[in-house]
Amino acid sequence: MVFINYKMPNIRRILITGSPGSGKTTIIRGLRNRGYMVFDEFSRSLIKGFENKNLFLKDPINFSAKLLERRIKQFNDAKKNKKVKNNLVFYDRGIQEISGYLRAIGLENSSWEKKLTDYRYDKVFIAPPWKEIYINDKQRFETYKEAKIYYRFIKASYEIKHELIEIPKIDIESRIDFVESYVL
C-alpha cells in the first residue's frame, strides 16, 4: 500500500478592519456572496448576547477577553475548512485591534500585547472613517467623532506588524473588486 502525503495549500488570511461604521461588514457580505469563506465580526453578537450596548465601556477587560477568545478561535478554525475559494479566508475585524480599542479608552496591558503578536494576517485592508455612510445602531454605540478616534488606535495596532492597504471610499461593488484585485 502506498501512502501519499497530501499537504493542503496554505490558507491566506485577509483582514478587513477600520473605523466603526465604515462599510467593513458590507464588504464582508459581498465577499461571502462571491463565494469566499468569511468570519463575521463577533463583537456585535457579544453585545447582542449581553443586551447591553455599552458593555465594552462598562466592563472592557471582560468584554475584550471574550472577544479575544472568539477571534483566536476564528483564526484557528480557518485551517479546518477544506473548501476555501482560492485559499482565501476573510475576517471582519481581527485580533490586534482589541488592544487598539483598549488603548483608546486608556487601558494598556503588556501581557495582552504579547499574546496578540502571535497572530498575523497575510493582508490587512483598512476602511477609513466615512461620515456619509456612518450610522448608529443597537450595537454601534460610538459617535462619528469617537469612531474617528478608535480608527487611529485600530490603525496603530496593525501598523507595527502589517502593511495596511486603505480601502477607497467608492461604491460597494468597486470596494469588493478593489480587495479582490490585491489578493487574487
Q: What domains appear along the chain, each with residue ranges and CATH number?
A: 12-183 (3.40.50.300)
pTM of the model: 0.89
Give tens-digit pLDDT for 16-30. 999 999 999 999 999
- What the block records as the C-alpha cell of 158 is 496593525
Q: Rg for the chain (alpha carbons), in Å?
A: 17
Give tens-digit pLDDT for 58-115. 888 888 888 899 999 999 998 887 778 899 999 999 999 999 999 999 998 777 777 7
Q: At 67, which amino acid appears?
A: L
